Amino acid sequence: MKQIVKLIDVDVDGCGTNVETMIEIEGKQELTNGIIQRTKDAIEKYKKENDGEYDTDSIIDVVCEHLESEGYMCDYISEDVDIEF
């Protein structure tokens, strides 16, 4: 089963700017609330271990590593086109 996960790095610059990234995961089952919570816990643990010094890419790596440990394959998804309006 494939799923798209949007990761939102909130207020990256202290001025309210969010960075959104999407990943595609594939596994035998849908993500459960337990897996989602363990993923959030892995992010928080990483942030604490690095004294709050992290970037969006390192968090995405942590998420993918954790989801792979849960039995999922993880790929970055990037847009083909941006349209601003």
Under 8 Å between Cβ of 74 and 63: yes
Q: Where are the alpha helices (DSSP H) in 1-85?
A: 33-49, 56-69
Cα–Cα distance for residue pair 73/69, rounded to 1 Å: 9
Angle 4-9-15 (CA atoms, 0-180°, nearest 5)? 145
Per-residue pLDDT 10s for the chain (85 aa) are 999 999 999 988 889 999 889 999 999 999 999 999 999 999 999 999 999 788 989 999 999 999 999 999 999 887 778 787 8
State the amino acid at position 63 in one-letter form: V
State the amino acid at position 57 in one-letter form: D
Residue that the structure tokens 């998804």 belong to: 77
Number of Cβ within a 10 Å radius of residue 39: 20
